[in-house]
Amino acid sequence: MTLLEARDLLVRYRGGPPALDGVTCAARGGELLAVVGPNGSGKTTLVRVVSGLLRPERGEVTVDGRSLARWRRGELAGVLAVVPQGETVTFPLRVDETVMLGRYARLGPLAAPGSADHAAVNEALARCDVADLAGRTIDTLSGGEWQRVRLARALAQQPRVLVLDEPTTSLDIRHEMELFELVRRLVDAGLAGLVITHHLNLAARYADRILLLSRGRVAGEGRPGDVLRADTLRAVFDWPLAVTAWSDGSPQVVPLRPHESGER
Amino acid sequence: MSAARTAALFGVVAASLAVGLAAGTVPLGLGEVWAGLRSADAPASVIVRELRLPRVLLAFLVGGSLAVCGAALQAMIRNPLAEPYLLGLSGGAGLGAVVALASRAAGPWAVPVAAFAGALAAVALVYRLSLVAGRRLDPRILLLSGVVVGAFAGALMSAIIVLSDAPTVRNAFLWLLGGFGAASWQALAVFAAYAALPLAAIGLSARSLDLVALGDEPAHHLGADVERIRRLVYLCTALLTAASVAVCGIIGFVGLVVPHAARTLARPLHRTLLPLVFAGGGSFLVLADVVSRTVARPLELPVGVVTALVGVPVFALLLRRSVA
């Protein structure tokens, strides 16, 4: 069933042009939706709207069939988990403490974490392959480790919808691939996934559907092969590029140098 | 926290209270203190029961409250340099209290209300000032605004004190420097009445403080109602600061020094940190008060001077670390 759905969103930041205009998208359980588009095309705004940080002027977001406005804050955190873009560390917690923060929405103000909470934390640590880091403080982690810990914190929420905003920024190839593999496994296990990324080629290989945004509007939505077309992408990114096919049939985007395209 | 650490903490608290009761213009042995506490006929009974006990307990509660304010504000604005004095809350509360005293309208129970109004106004002004740069709040600009608002409140206080002819206001000058010379059972009752609720509210928000310390966005995603907890923290710290200023003047840096020390001793999770910070802040201020009344005997140094002498080096240390 459709776990996350946004219909006809309109968002404007203080008098500016619409950051999102008429955007509609959906993700079912077991489905990974990749949101791609140039800088400033509204990707992060979309995350802010579907997570309830920003209320749209028009349109509606539903999570698990219920309008976002009708979820209580703590309740929603048990269904929808978001790993936002950056995060600065002021007071360095340990890895296990950080992942336990994912259980807070389920804990009373005075109650200590119970066995179910510890089990959820341990499972999240194991699934993200950070169990051996549990006792380290987070200011000692590498970029890839820190991203996996933040993902584990989100999994400890035991969500049904997982939203990731550019999860592989500043990660090298191995850590990037490991993260996408992990996300794919989680989605295959039943989560609905929404991932924002600049990696068109990884989006093409890992996502079931792609939403291409351009200046706040939908420039394409559907299966990777239907959305990642040279003419569309050229117009959206305003740069010459070619699209080839990888051996598994997924489209692969190659940006061209100006003299290769015969334009410019 | 482990049982051994909890026991050690109780030991530190008990020792600081004992030293607070024994030290002073008339030094007492611990045996005399104990006798004075137990029997009204003991020779030291009046000194212990009527002068030192309320003084020590008041210093403990005020120190604990100011330290808790510091820890809560630091989580809220994600900067270990935040505390009521540097954020201008103390200045605002002092101004409110001075206005109330100068207009001769206020009894001991009403001064904290005026101080509370002043502290809230200061918070609002500091917040407003630091939003000038944009919609996003920069902790460094917030601190700068706090210092500026504190200085402004200080200037207005001096003007009112100098221009006023009420004798109570003249005394305000000494009171403003911070001290427990006027501590009494009534002052203790006033403070406890105003401080109990905000202390409990901050304590019950320990988990929310862990979340907001991550930043507004991650906190929201993990289920915290960030706006609600922000209002709660500003309201409670304003109330606690106001109650402190009303009973013992402006005492800075407790909220800076104690949470910093506590984070080196315990995990920075607020459920364990806040009790430690409260006990540590109480002991710290009791001992600072002991120094203030013994170091230049028979004169008394304002306790705010002592805490500043300790606090400024700690501030410098934290500043170096936060820039590095």
More reliable by pLDDT, A249 or B62: B62
For residues B127 and B237, what is the distance between their CA atoms, to the nearest angstrom? 14
Task: Name which of A68, A71, A73, A91 to mutate to probe chain B: the one with the most chain B Cβ atoms within 10 A of its Cβ.
Answer: A91
In A, which residues are within 8 Å of B263 by CB distance?
Answer: 91
Nearest Cβ partner for A51 among B80, B210, B221: B221
CA of B256 to nearest chain A CA: how many angstroms apart? 14
By residue count, chain A amounts to 264
Q: Do B268 and A91 make contact, defined as CB atoms within 8 angstroms?
A: yes
pLDDT-derived band at B33, boundaries 50, 70, 90? confident
pLDDT, tens only, B150-189: 999 999 988 888 887 766 666 666 677 788 888 899 999 9
Task: Say yes or no: B223 contacts chain A, CB-CB below 8 A.
Answer: yes
Q: Is B51's pLDDT higher than 70?
A: yes
Of chain A, the end-to-end C-alpha distance in Å amounts to 47
Residue labelled with tokens 């289920």: B223
Task: Say yes or no: B181 contacts chain A, CB-CB below 8 A.
Answer: no
The bridge status of strand A192-196 relative to strand A32-36 is parallel
Q: Is B322's pLDDT higher than 60?
A: yes
Range scoring the smallest mean pLDDT among A48-62, B59-73, B303-317: B303-317
For residue B62 the two structure tokens come to 């005020």
Q: Do B207 and A51 make contact, defined as CB atoms within 8 angstroms?
A: no
Got the DSSP string for B10-63?
Answer: HHHHHHHHHHHHH-SSS---HHHHHHHHH-TTSTTHHIIIIIIHHHHHHHHHHH
In A, which residues are within 8 Å of B204 by CB distance?
Answer: 109-110
| pLDDT given at position A123 | 95
The bridge status of strand A80-83 relative to strand A161-165 is parallel
Nearest Cβ partner for B211 among A53, A78, A104: A104
Range scoring the smallest mean pLDDT among A174-178, A194-198, A224-228, B98-102: B98-102
Residue B285 in 3-state DSSP? helix
CA of A102 to nearest chain B CA: how many angstroms apart? 6
Q: Is A263's pLDDT higher than 60?
A: no
Task: Say yes or no: B174 contacts chain A, CB-CB below 8 A.
Answer: no
Task: Say yes or no: B205 contacts chain A, CB-CB below 8 A.
Answer: yes
Q: Is the pTM here over 0.95, yes or no?
A: no
For residues B203 and B205, what is the distance between their CA atoms, to the nearest angstrom? 5
**What Rg, from alpha-carbon coordinates, does chain B have?**
19
pLDDT, tens only, A123-162: 999 999 999 999 999 999 998 899 999 999 999 999 999 9
Of B58, B52, B49, B47, which is closest to residue B187 (Cα–Cα)? Answer: B58
For residue B52 the two structure tokens come to 């030192």
For residue A98 the two structure tokens come to 């950080």
Q: Is A236's pLDDT higher than 80?
A: yes
B258, B284 Cβ separation under 8 angstroms:
yes
- What average pLDDT does chain B have? 88
Residue labelled with tokens 């959206």: A236
Task: Say yes or no: B140 contacts chain A, CB-CB below 8 A.
Answer: no
A94, A136 Cβ separation under 8 angstroms:
yes
Q: How many CA atoms lie within 13 Å of B157's alpha carbon, on the beta-carbon side?
A: 28
List Cα–Cα distances, A167 to A149, A162, A207, B192, B276, in angstroms. 12, 12, 14, 49, 37
Predicted-assembly ipTM surpassing the 0.90 threshold:
yes
- What average pLDDT does chain A have? 92
Of chain B, the end-to-end C-alpha distance in Å amounts to 30
In B, which residues are within 8 Å of A73 by CB distance?
Answer: 220, 223-225
Nearest Cβ partner for B221 among A82, A107, A110: A82
Q: Do B79 and A81 make contact, defined as CB atoms within 8 angstroms?
A: no
Q: Is A226's pLDDT higher than 90?
A: yes
For B133, which DSSP code?
Answer: T
Q: Do A76 and B223 make contact, defined as CB atoms within 8 angstroms?
A: yes
CA of A104 to nearest chain B CA: how many angstroms apart? 7
Task: Name which of A89, A90, A163 to mutate to probe chain B: the one with the most chain B Cβ atoms within 10 A of its Cβ.
Answer: A90
List Cα–Cα distances, A90 to B60, B179, B257, in angstroms. 29, 33, 17
Got the DSSP string for chain A?
Answer: -EEEEEEEEEEESTTSSEEEEEEEEEEETT-EEEEE-STTSSHHHHHHHHTTSS--SEEEEEETTEEGGGS-HHHHTTTEEEE-S----SS--BHHHHHHGGGGGGS-SSPPP-HHHHHHHHHHHHHTT-GGGTTSBGGG--HHHHHHHHHHHHHHT--SEEEEESTTTT--HHHHHHHHHHHHHHHHTT-EEEEE-S-HHHHHHH-SEEEEEETTEEEEEESHHHH--HHHHHHHHTS-EEEEE-TTS-EEEEEPPHHHHT--
pLDDT, tens only, B245-273: 988 989 999 999 999 989 888 888 999 99
